[in-house]
Amino acid sequence: MEGRRWTLSGENRAVASARVRRLEPWLPYKDSNLDKQIQNLLCYRYTIRQSGGMGGRSHSAAEELQETASPSGLQPISLPMGRRCGVVRNAEILVKRPRMLIGWDSMNPPSFLTFSLVALFLVPGLQAGDWPGWRGPAGDGTLPVSETYPVTWSAGDAVWRVELGAPGNSSPVVVGNRLFLTEAREKGHERSLVCFDTTTGKELWRQTVKYGKDEITHATNPWCSASPLVHEGIVYAWHGSAGLHAYDLDGRAGWQADLGEFAHIWGPNAASPVVWGDLIIVHAGPGLLAKLVALNRKTGKMAWETALPDAQSAEIKQFKGSWAVPRIMDNGGRAEMLVPLPKWLVSFDPATGKEWWRCGGLSDLCYNNPLVGDGTVVAMCGYGGPAIGVRLPGAGETGDLTASHRLWLVPRNQQRIGSGILLGGNVYICNEPGAAQCFDAKTGEDRWKERLGKNAWSSLNYVGGKCYVVDQTAETHVFEPSPTGLKVVAHNVLAPGEATNATPAFAGGAIYLRTNKALYRIGK
């Protein structure tokens, strides 16, 4: 068709590159002339990049649709049931767009915008409603506003409850009708990946790795604290000193890799694996050994390894380290992997492990994940430490960018363990003492801070237009994101007397929550 190209490239046909050029202003909304396959690419998360120098901008499609649907007069796409997106690579759509919808300088209008759909294309092994890894399909804890999930429930409302053999902080992941969870028994000497049927809660299989050595950790952070990852029919379990293991969906063992021995007074190995192309990447540490490691996800062969000497502890008892999961993004055509480390927010090339840039201002303890949106990165420390906002650099900028790109620094904050979300230019997070907080991502200035519940380690999720967070008593709090104040929707008590540090998974209309005693399914 004239003006449209559709190509499939690479060894996997799910890795697609779609480009559309039109003479008339165009948006990712319903269009009788728009190919259905292209529409299916336009999911709920993408990066907007101006080729003319406007800089990077990334936020949820729900936010983008709200900003653009009214002035454009066009209607947002409603993806049909069974077509929610999974993981996207190399998908771009070039569009021409009225300047009024973005608000750029009328004296320097760009010719085109690039919509890079990062981590959101349908791939083999993923189905509608999947939650394939830590913080969901996009790795940021969000699902579209069109998704429908339970908002209120009470004790006894669970569809099923399954007893677990040991407490743990890892979170469930869901692909199709299978749920995967890591679990440690016998004081960490047995480390397992467990598969459950999502319909019945029945355990389908268990793969256990024996680890003969004693590994130090903290009572609040049991072994196997990293969540599994499912990608293209393979489940990856990072068991720390017991290695990285790959299995198929039926539990048949594939490859395994020994990445070294790790030790930290609070327990290492909480960072879940992430995928980039044919690589599976692990932030391994913290403690006496800290590094980034990339392996071929099909063979387990080492692709690259980057030592993190500044992140290593001088001794096991030193209060120093990062437990953050790397955030991979497309920044103006340059792939970047953001990792908060002691003293620095650092960007690496996920293809090689080489450093792109860094920005100073963090402390020695980094617990949660970096947040990206609207051309800004927000990184926050734990243990009452600082938070910083950083302007995303251009694709050619490298080195120490502290002086030129750091937007703000707030030196002291409440303890933060779980991660937040960045939505509409604001950060929403539940701090460890149970206080929900909203602040401006570009200035760091508080919008509001209010008591929400008990102490919380869980990360916040934004699903169906609402924020969900679970406190340590397993009570789930639901509120509407608003910069004007805390707007509570519900406080849901599921399991009186139980506790949790895990974050729930949202899949197929159901919520899955792990407590220190059991695994629950809520809804449908």
- What percent of the chain stands above pLDDT 90? 66
Q: What is the mean pLDDT of residues 452-469?
A: 96
pTM of the model: 0.78
Question: Is it the case that residue 1 has pLDDT exceeding 50?
Answer: no
Q: Supply the pLDDT for residue 267.
A: 83
What are 398-412's pLDDT values in tens digits? 999 999 999 999 999
SS3 445: coil
Q: What is the mean pLDDT of residues 121-135?
A: 68
Contacts of 413 (CB under 8 A, 6+ apart): 380, 381, 384, 385, 386, 387, 431
Round to whole Å and give the CA distance between 184 and 225. 9
What are 94-112's pLDDT values in tens digits? 232 322 222 222 223 332 2
Q: Supply the pLDDT for residue 127.
A: 58
Helices H / strands E in the chain, number of each: 3, 41
- pLDDT classification of 113: cutoffs 50, 70, 90: very low
Q: Supply the pLDDT for residue 220.
A: 82
Q: Supply the pLDDT for residue 112.
A: 25
Q: Supply the pLDDT for residue 156.
A: 85
Round to whole Å and give the CA distance between 126 and 232. 7
At 33, which amino acid appears? Answer: N
Round the average pLDDT of the chain to a whole number and report it: 80
Q: What is the mean pLDDT of residues 435-443?
A: 97
Q: Supply the pLDDT for residue 71.
A: 31
Question: Is it the case that residue 33 has pLDDT exceeding 90?
Answer: no
CB-CB neighbours of 155 under 10 Å: 12
At 496, which amino acid appears? Answer: P
Instruction: Tell me whether the omega of the peptide bond preceding residue 286 falls within 30 degrees of 0, making it cis.
Output: yes
Q: What is the mean pLDDT of residues 417-437?
A: 95
At 141, which amino acid appears? Answer: G
Lowest mean pLDDT among 21-25, 402-406, 419-423: 21-25
What are 229-286's pLDDT values in tens digits? 999 999 999 999 999 999 999 999 999 999 999 988 888 788 999 999 999 999 998 9
E-strand stretches of 186-278 = 190-197, 203-210, 229-231, 234-238, 244-248, 253-257, 274-276
- Pairing relationship of beta strands 173-175 and 291-296 according to DSSP bridges: unpaired
Q: Supply the pLDDT for residue 8.
A: 32
Task: Tell me which of 298 and 155 has the higher pLDDT.
Answer: 298
Lowest mean pLDDT among 177-186, 394-403, 438-447, 494-503: 494-503
What are 258-272's pLDDT values in tens digits? 999 998 888 878 899
What are 212-225's pLDDT values in tens digits? 998 888 888 888 88
Question: Is it the case that residue 87 has pLDDT exceeding 60?
Answer: no
Contacts of 17 (CB under 8 A, 6+ apart): 7, 8, 9, 90, 91, 92
CB-CB neighbours of 279 under 10 Å: 17
Q: Supply the pLDDT for residue 122.
A: 34
Q: Supply the pLDDT for residue 303.
A: 98
Contacts of 446 (CB under 8 A, 6+ apart): 437, 438, 439, 440
What are 341-395's pLDDT values in tens digits? 999 999 999 999 999 999 999 999 999 999 999 999 999 998 889 999 999 999 8
Sign of CA dihedral 524, 196, 479, 79: negative
- Structure tokens belonging to residue 33: 């002339």
Q: Supply the pLDDT for residue 456.
A: 94
Contacts of 388 (CB under 8 A, 6+ apart): 345, 359, 361, 362, 378, 379, 406, 407, 408, 409, 410, 444
Question: Is it the case that residue 200 has pLDDT exceeding 80?
Answer: yes
